[in-house]
């Protein structure tokens, strides 16, 4: 546009108009702005005559597209959240996972995760499934946790019918061929070897702390397949498990970015009245056990001096995780516990800092900033439908394990002490910020919708959760922390454990007023 104006000016002024003299000494040029000619006398603060009144977007804190839920005749729930955009995320969430494997070979859920999106009655191979999704710009994924299995697809909204049909086939009609089972055994074996070799011990410690906290029951059962079970899991074992746990009443078809009526129509077409590959017999052996918190200790002595994957040596560290029972996500105290976890925060000893890094959380201010020899101090909160676990993971040189454990037990005791208003407000603001930022992502909204509907048959909207977070008071933090400290601790330890205090000493420290470990007197050091 600018080039056109310049060319027109040159034609009007003649061949010499580009010269500097004429422009410099001639009559001053008058630039006609778009608002100057048509409405010369109307100030910018007044609306223009003849122009429609603009309608501006307003923020009232309410979601215009609420989560819609429909229950089909077979008990399957269909939940959707509308969202602008060309793409949608659709998936099936199932109330199934390692916590339900008490009567089966441990590791079935791990196997099913690796077998997902393999050949089915309609699709001869995984490649055929991926090619079908590619026609709609789609990708697929399957994830299992201790209590939920999730099959998900992100694709163009126009391909919703194809996607729901594909998901139904993957979930209800897998072939589970001998070749696929053998490939899965190799994948599981590789993952187990990688778990034991990786420098980051957090996944292994999480397994160990659950095993210590819920000894031999529900969420304390192994999430990863034990090595001795890899060769034992076959089609018959998988079908016996699927028959009991892959039933419509334990499933939710969730979607984000689609019309609810269209989703329900697709669900009726592909998920109502269909006979699964393992037969249509009724589930007769469903485990409805409630999690029993036991407390205890799980130790794994290991040489951690050679975990570095590169030429630079990695310092030898001993890793400790101490946990206490909190509450389930269905209880009212779940929000205060979430705020407490955010208030503890923490992380690694190296951090670039900056907004949102938690540099003002307690585990940074009281632990990492004061004890230079500690490499890590991080708070975690695991919550399930019938229990929860708040734990702190710490890492240090093996010679300073005892001091490290005492520092962590002191932090647990301080949770039930005075809560500063400023740190509480900061933790609440950070939690709300993380919640809202995560819910900007379509796949995260999908998982939130699916998990909430699976657990409660409803969904709390973000503004409801933010209101609950704002209402948390210092006395709420003190109350939940005091209740938590009455429980027996769960302890997981990995590495050189020569100087690890006994479980009884850790328990005594968490029962004391100051969190100090009982003094030990040795004749020889």
CA–CA separation, 398 vs 219, rounded Å? Answer: 30
Instruction: State how far the Cα of 53 lies from the Cα of 56, in Å rounded to an integer.
Output: 10
Q: How many residues does the chain have?
A: 525
What are the pLDDT digits (tens) for 296-336?
A: 999 999 988 877 667 777 889 999 999 999 999 999 999 99
Q: Residue 419 and residue 481: Cα distance in Å, rounded?
A: 11
DSSP letters spanning 109-160: HHHHHHHTT--BSS-SSHHHHHHHHHTTT-EEEEEE-SS-EEEEEEEEGGGH
Q: Are strands 149-156 and 251-256 parallel, antiparallel or unpaired?
A: unpaired
pLDDT at site 441: 93
Query: What are the start-end ranges of the E strands in 350-489?
Result: 374-383, 388-396
Proportion of the chain above pLDDT 90, given as a percent? 77
Determine the pLDDT at residue 55: 79
Could you give the 3-state DSSP secondary structure of residue 106? coil
* Model confidence at 122: pLDDT above 80: yes
pLDDT band at 427 (very low <50, low <70, confident <90, very high): very high
Please name every residue paired with 391 in a beta bridge, in sequence order, or none if there are none: 323, 380
Position 21 scores a pLDDT of: 42
Question: Per-residue pLDDT tens for 375-388?
Answer: 999 999 999 999 99
Whether residue 195 is predicted with pLDDT greater than 70 in this model: the reply is: yes
More confident residue, 84 or 67: 67
CA 15 to chain centre: 69
pLDDT on residue 423: 95
Predicted pLDDT of residue 4: 43
Confidence (pLDDT) at 508: 97
Q: What is the mean pLDDT of the chain?
A: 89
pLDDT at residue 64 above 80?
no
Mean pLDDT in residue range 99-128? 96
DSSP classification of residue 67: P
- Among 17-26, 186-195, 392-401, 428-437, the least confident range: 17-26
Residue 28: which pLDDT band, with cuts at 50, 70 and 90? Answer: low
pLDDT on residue 411 = 97
pLDDT tier, 32 (very low <50, low <70, confident <90, very high otherwise): low
- Return the HEC string of 4-40: HHHHHHHHHHCHHHHCHHHHHHCCCCCCCCHHHHHCC
pLDDT score for 133 = 97
| DSSP code for 33 | -
pLDDT of amino acid 8: 43
pTM of the model: 0.85
pLDDT band with cut points at 50, 70 and 90 for residue 59:
low
Select from 448, 329, 442, 431 the least CA-distant residue to 390: 329
pLDDT of residue 417: 96
Q: Measure the CA–CA gap between 471 and 467, rounded to whole angstroms.
A: 6
**Interval 486-500: pLDDT, tens:** 999 999 999 999 999
Neighbours of 354 (CB within 10 A): 7
pLDDT at 401 over 80: yes
155-172 mean pLDDT: 97
**82 or 497, which is more confident:** 497
Greatest Cα pair distance, the chain, in angstroms, is 106
The candidate with the shortest Cα–Cα distance to 76, out of 153, 167, 143, is 167
Residue 217 pLDDT: 95
| Residue range 161-177: mean pLDDT, rounded | 97
Which DSSP symbol is given to 284?
A: -
Q: Residue range 177-191: average pLDDT? A: 97
Residue with tokens 């209880």: 331
Distances (CA, A) of 299 to 319, 323, 393, 412, 497: 10, 14, 14, 21, 8
Position 409 pLDDT exceeds 90 = yes
Is the pLDDT assigned to residue 112 strictly greater than 50?
A: yes
């Amino acid at each position: 546009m600018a080039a056109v104006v310049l060319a027109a000016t040159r034609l009007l002024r003649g061949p010499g108009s580009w010269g500097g003299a004429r422009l410099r000494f001639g009559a001053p040029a008058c630039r006609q702005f778009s608002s100057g000619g048509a409405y010369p006398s109307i100030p910018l603060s007044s609306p223009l005559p003849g122009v429609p009144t603009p309608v501006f977007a307003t923020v009232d804190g309410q979601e215009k597209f609420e989560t819609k839920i429909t229950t089909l005749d077979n008990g399957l729930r269909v939940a959707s959240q509308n969202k602008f955009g060309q793409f949608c995320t659709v998936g099936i969430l199932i109330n199934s996972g390692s916590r339900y494997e008490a009567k089966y070979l441990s590791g079935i859920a791990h196997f099913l995760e690796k077998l997902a999106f393999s050949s089915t009655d309609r699709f001869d191979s995984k490649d055929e499934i991926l090619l079908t999704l590619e026609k709609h710009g789609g990708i697929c994924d399957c994830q299992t946790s201790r209590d939920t299995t999730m099959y998900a697809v992100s694709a163009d909204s126009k391909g919703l019918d194809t996607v729901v049909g594909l998901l139904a086939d993957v979930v209800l009609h897998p072939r589970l061929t001998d070749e696929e089972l053998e490939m899965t055994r190799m994948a599981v074996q590789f993952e187990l070897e990688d778990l034991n070799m990786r420098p980051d011990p957090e996944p292994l410690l999480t397994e160990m702390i659950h095993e210590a906290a819920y000894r031999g029951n529900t969420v304390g059962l192994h999430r990863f397949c034990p090595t001795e079970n890899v060769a034992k899991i076959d089609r018959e074992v998988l079908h016996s498990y699927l028959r009991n746990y892959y039933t419509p009443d334990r499933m939710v078809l969730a979607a984000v970015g689609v019309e609810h009526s269209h989703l329900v129509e697709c669900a009726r077409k592909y998920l109502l009245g269909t006979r699964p590959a393992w037969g249509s017999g009724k589930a007769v052996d469903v485990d409805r056990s409630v999690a029993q918190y036991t407390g205890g200790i799980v130790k794994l002595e290991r040489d951690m001096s050679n975990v570095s994957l590169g030429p630079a040596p990695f310092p030898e560290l001993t890793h400790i995780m101490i946990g206490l029972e909190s509450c389930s996500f269905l209880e009212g105290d779940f929000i205060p516990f979430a705020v407490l976890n955010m208030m503890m925060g923490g992380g690694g000893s190296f951090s670039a800092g900056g907004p949102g890094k938690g540099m003002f959380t307690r585990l940074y201010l009281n632990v990492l900033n004061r004890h230079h020899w500690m490499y890590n101090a991080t708070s975690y909160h695991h919550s399930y439908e019938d229990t929860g676990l708040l734990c702190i993971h710490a890492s240090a040189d093996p010679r300073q394990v005892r001091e490290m454990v005492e520092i962590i037990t002191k932090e647990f005791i301080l949770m039930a002490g005075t809560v500063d208003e400023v740190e509480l407000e900061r933790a609440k603001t950070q939690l709300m910020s993380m919640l809202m930022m995560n819910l900007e992502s379509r796949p995260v909204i999908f998982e939130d919708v699916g998990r909430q509907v699976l657990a409660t048959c409803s969904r709390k909207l973000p503004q409801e959760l933010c209101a609950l977070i704002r209402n948390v008071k210092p006395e709420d933090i003190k109350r939940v922390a005091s209740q938590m400290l009455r429980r027996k601790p769960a302890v997981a330890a990995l590495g050189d454990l020569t100087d690890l205090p006994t479980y009884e000493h850790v328990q005594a420290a968490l029962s004391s007023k100051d969190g100090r470990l009982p003094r030990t007197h040795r004749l020889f050091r």
